[in-house]
Amino acid sequence: MLAHPKEFLEIKDKYYYSSYRAIDFYGHFQEDIKLLAEMHFSSLRLSINWTRIFPNGDEELPNTYQSVANPYLEVSDWHWPIDPVGLRYSLNGLYDRYQKPLFIVENGLGATDNIEADGSINDDYRINYFNDHLFQIGEAIKDGVDVIGYTTWGPIDLVSAGTGEMKKRYGFIYVDMNDNGEGTLQRKKKKSFYWYRDVIDSKGKKLVPPNRKSGTGTKTR
**% of residues, the chain, pLDDT over 90:** 60
Model confidence at 162, pLDDT cuts 50, 70, 90, reads confident
Instruction: Give the pLDDT of residue 53.
Output: 76
Instruction: Give the pLDDT of residue 32.
Output: 87
| CA 199/CA 109 separation, integer angstroms | 17
Per-residue pLDDT reduced to its tens digit, 91-142: 999 999 889 899 999 999 999 999 999 999 999 999 999 999 999 999 999 9
Which structural domain, as residue segments, surrounds residue 187? 73-215
Q: How many helices (H) and strands (E) are present in the chain, helices listed first?
A: 4, 10
Domain contains 113: yes
Model confidence at 22, pLDDT cuts 50, 70, 90, reads low
Whether the CB-CB separation of 74 and 214 falls below 8 Å is answered with yes
Query: What is the number of domains present in the chain?
Result: 1
Instruction: Give the pLDDT of residue 58.
Output: 60
Instruction: Give the pLDDT of residue 111.
Output: 97
Domain contains 194: yes
Domain contains 116: yes
Residue type, 33: I
| CA 56/CA 66 separation, integer angstroms | 10
Domain contains 39: no
Domain contains 129: yes
Domain contains 3: no
User: Which of the residues are catalytic?
Assistant: 106
Domain contains 163: yes
Handedness of CA 212, 172, 77, 45 (dihedral sign): negative
How, if at all, do strands 187-189 and 74-75 pair? unpaired
Please report which helix (H) or strand (E) contains residue 90, including its range: helix 84-98
Domain contains 210: yes
- Name, in order, each residue with C-beta under 8 angstroms of 177's C-beta and a sequence gap of 6 or more: 157, 166, 183, 185
The pLDDT of residue 196 is above 90? yes
DSSP state letters, 203-215 = TTTT-----SGGG
